[in-house]
Structure 1
């Protein structure tokens, strides 16, 4: 990997400590050093990475995201469709999900694996003292919905809850290095590195964006908790009527659902197992919304190994 100037990549010593031993960061930084040479620091300073997660794809948010990015000086220079699996979903947030409950991990699997995701590589126009990753992270808005600015990207796209967050951004240049290597296979990664070097999209990137925006494959899903619960409840009642031998587990599921109407949390892994035993053909987004709305998300005594960059850390 060679000598790394960590001050240009992160302002968090704990991140530097872990990433120095991280396979994806080490390989990614080596590839970027080879591809960019003495321009590596400059290109990383001007580049950012955003994911449109499956919930953002299903609800057709790319146009709003693209318009927001353009309005804030960011151009899309690379694009790649990919699918999360159980392992990539955990690896991407391995240093943050040390805080997450097991129920949150289970629901997150549903959300991330419900459909394709879109990786966007971005180039910021003009000069700016902050790295483009840090700048973009400040524009996306806070994770806590109650604290989001109305002009933040998260507020504009209308994410319904914390787990169905629709987008993810690399927080610092070090995260861009690691996440691109983790999520893109070698062949598309080589193409995407070339796009970062050139600062402009190629034909393949334009074709991917056109497909997402105009094929009709993405969009049309509405993430509504109340409607989701209503559809699940109706399906459970119909199954109990059709198959009396399933009346007992169906009744248990209905009792749990009634509890959510009173604000009670679901014992998600147990609930999901009983629900699966009913062999219902449910919309994956109805199940995802139910779980994302009614679970304990974090362990009471949990901690993140790596949190968010401290406010103002890049201003010094």
Structure 2
């Protein structure tokens, strides 16, 4: 692998420090150099990576996302379905989940593993001083719900809470390089690098997007916290009626769920252990929305090893 021009990949010294030793970045950078040659900086400047996460897929958000992207001069040039597992979910946010509570990690596992994720590679058209990754991250909007603007992509998607965020975007060119390598096996990865090099989608990409949009396989879920609580309570009560020996465990679940109506948080890992002891079937999206709505998300005083790029850092 040749020398890395970090100034074209990130404006965060802490990211360069960690990525220089990161196996996925190192391998990805070598593949990018081979695929793009002396066009590497130009291709990466115009390219972005987005994930439509399982909650975004289940609720049918691709159409809204594609319209938003088109309005802002982005087009989809590559697409691939994949599934997160426990390890890829943790590795993708390795440097950010240093502040996450253990309950948040557990809920995040449920959300990420509830269904397929759609990886989108994007090409931005027109001139812009910032890399496409940075530009798209600013259009995405703030992670903090209180700072989210209605015209941001997160605002347009109407996400229900911080953890059911529907989408993820690579923040800088360095993140695109790392995340494409981390999430894709060699064959789809090299196919997608070709799409970035050429700047246009293939018939296979268009067929996949058409399937997601029109097959009826996606878009049948509504993330309704109140409805989820009602359904879980109903199932728990039925179970306790059928098996009186489970009444104590069922009562604990009922009490915890009643507490959420008063704004109380759930002790998530204990809650799920007791629920599992009832041996009942609960819809995965009901678990996802209840968990993501009622937990302590971050450890007090903890920090991200790598945060977000400073606004305007690429314009300096």
Q: TM-score, normalised by structure 1?
A: 0.99
The equivalent of 2:98 in structure 1 is 98
Point out the more displaced range, 105-114 or 270-279.
270-279
- What SS class does the counterpart of residue 314 from structure 1 fall into? coil
Superposed counterparts of 1:175-254, under 5 Å: 175-254=175-254
Q: Give the C-alpha shift of residue 285 in structure 1.
A: 0.4
The equivalent of 1:80 in structure 2 is 80
- What SS class does the counterpart of residue 160 from structure 1 fall into? coil
The equivalent of 1:312 in structure 2 is 312
Q: Give the C-alpha shift of residue 281 in structure 1.
A: 1.3
The equivalent of 1:153 in structure 2 is 153
CA separation in 1, counterparts of 2:151 and 2:256? 37
The equivalent of 1:169 in structure 2 is 169
1:290 equivalent in alignment to 2:290: yes
CA separation in 1, counterparts of 2:260 and 2:297? 15
Structure 2 gaps of 5+ residues are none
Structure 1, residues 247-284: CA drift from partner, whole Å, max 9, x if none?
11000110111111111111100100000111111110
The equivalent of 1:257 in structure 2 is 257
- What SS class does the counterpart of residue 287 from structure 1 fall into? helix
The equivalent of 1:68 in structure 2 is 68
- What SS class does the counterpart of residue 315 from structure 1 fall into? coil
Structure 1 gaps of 5+ residues are none
1:32 equivalent in alignment to 2:32: yes
Q: Give the C-alpha shift of residue 232 in structure 1.
A: 0.5
1:274 equivalent in alignment to 2:274: yes
CA separation in 2, counterparts of 1:36 and 1:310? 28
CA separation in 2, counterparts of 1:150 and 1:249? 42
CA separation in 1, counterparts of 2:137 and 2:186? 26
Q: Give the C-alpha shift of residue 38 in structure 1.
A: 0.1
Q: Give the C-alpha shift of residue 145 in structure 1.
A: 1.2
Q: Give the C-alpha shift of residue 208 in structure 1.
A: 1.0
Q: Give the C-alpha shift of residue 223 in structure 1.
A: 0.4
> Alignment length, in residue pairs?
316
- What SS class does the counterpart of residue 306 from structure 1 fall into? coil
CA separation in 1, counterparts of 2:66 and 2:249? 45
1:107 equivalent in alignment to 2:98: no
Superposed counterparts of 1:116-155, under 5 Å: 116-155=116-155
Superposed counterparts of 1:36-47, under 5 Å: 36-47=36-47
4+ runs of 1 displaced by more than 2 Å?
none
CA separation in 1, counterparts of 2:293 and 2:262? 13
The equivalent of 2:52 in structure 1 is 52
Structure 1, residues 171-226: CA drift from partner, whole Å, max 9, x if none?
00000000000001100001100000000001211111111011110001000111
CA separation in 1, counterparts of 2:184 and 2:143? 25
